[in-house]
């Protein structure tokens, strides 16, 4: 009789443990592989997302202006003027947007000097944008110095790619 009672108790414990394992551990793991049910997106949200995508697609691409070593002088050319005209047209069409001018340098020099040089480059371009008819209040100039390289620092060509100023639209 003692063997039957011990067997029954072991069977009941085994039933509880196996039910717990199945319900709490195995079922959730098996349901992770099933795709989530599709939810309908309201029409207004899809229109809003589509219009935002169209807005981003019509935005002028970033303009990169390269500089010589340890120099903040800028000489305009017709290609740069055409690109700046697109930025001006964008600003006229969307009065809530701004232009960001970010100056960058290579790694040669101290970080403080490179930050100052990057800011000088950004300010020169900001002044040029202003001379092209863009309101100064809609231009922000900042320096990233040597912190965001576009290329490596090993060769002269790589360092030259890092001496730049980037113009972009900010919403």
> Does residue 85 lie in a domain region?
yes
pLDDT at 101 over 90: yes
Question: Is residue 35 domain-resident?
Answer: no
Whether residue 30 lies inside any domain: the answer is no
Instruction: Answer whether residue 10 is part of any domain.
Output: no
Residue 128 lies in a domain: yes
How many helices (H) and strands (E) are present in the chain, helices listed first?
6, 4
How many domains in the chain?
A: 1
Q: Please, what is the end-to-end C-alpha distance for the chain in angstroms?
A: 82
Q: Structure pTM?
A: 0.67
In a domain, 137, yes or no: yes
Tens digit of each residue's pLDDT (9 = 90 or more) over 129-170: 898 888 889 899 999 888 888 888 788 888 888 889 999 888
Q: What Rg, from alpha-carbon coordinates, does the chain have? A: 31
Residue 74 exposed, middle or buried by CB count within 10 Å (0-12, 13-18, 19+):
middle
Domain that holds residue 131: 62-67+76-170
pLDDT at 29 over 90: no
CB atoms within 10 A of CB 150: 15
CATH number of domain containing 89: 3.30.1330.60
86 domain residue, yes or no: yes
């Amino acid at each position: 009789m003692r063997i039957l009672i011990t067997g029954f108790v072991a069977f009941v414990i085994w039933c509880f443990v196996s039910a717990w394992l199945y319900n709490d551990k195995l079922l959730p793991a098996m349901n992770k592989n099933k795709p989530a049910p599709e939810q309908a997106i309201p029409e207004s949200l899809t229109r809003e997302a589509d219009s935002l995508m169209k807005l981003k697609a019509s935005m002028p691409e970033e303009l990169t202006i390269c500089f010589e070593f340890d120099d903040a002088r800028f000489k305009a050319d017709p290609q740069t003027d055409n690109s700046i005209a697109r930025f001006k047209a964008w600003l006229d069409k969307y009065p809530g947007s701004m232009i960001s001018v970010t100056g960058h340098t290579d790694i040669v020099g101290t970080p403080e000097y490179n930050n100052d040089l990057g800011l000088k480059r950004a300010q020169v371009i900001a002044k040029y944008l202003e001379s092209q008819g863009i309101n100064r209040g809609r231009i922000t100039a900042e320096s990233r110095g040597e912190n965001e390289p576009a290329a490596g620092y090993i060769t002269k060509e790589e360092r030259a790619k890092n001496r730049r100023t980037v113009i972009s639209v900010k919403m």
